[in-house]
Amino acid sequence: MKATIWHNPRCSKSRETLALLQDADADVTIVEYLKTPPDRATLAALYAKAGMRPRDGLRLAEPAASALVGASDDAILNAMAANPILIERPLVQTEKGVRLGRPPERIGEIL
């Protein structure tokens, strides 16, 4: 199975999720999203496939997220594309769908 993970190696949940993918013998493509951020259209597509609104993928622990609490989905997507630290991680995509790996075990739904 092929999988893509939008990954931050400094994040424990992201590392745990990557380990789960590797343990499942997935052919994993790792995208360090802070170095190679997804564009707005990619983010919108990922969230749609996950059945999430962009605000559900907003990393609220980041100070810049507080200004987006009441913002529209379009504004949140624009902010995430411009400042990828606002993207909650990790996002995982397989042929079965997309999940946010919080908790990491959620990716079992798409393996």
User: What are the extents of the domains in the chain?
Assistant: 2-110
| Superfamily classification of domain 2-110 | Glutaredoxin (3.40.30.10)
Half-sphere exposure of 109 (CA within 13 A, CB side): 15
pLDDT in tens, 79-92: 999 999 999 999 99
Full-model pTM: 0.93
Class of residue 106 by CB neighbours under 10 A (exposed 0-12, middle 13-18, buried 19+): middle
pLDDT in tens, 7-49: 999 999 999 999 999 999 999 999 999 999 999 999 999 999 9
Task: Given the residues 2, 3, 7, 11, select the one marked as catalytic.
Answer: 11
Q: Does 4 participate in catalysis according to the annotation?
A: no
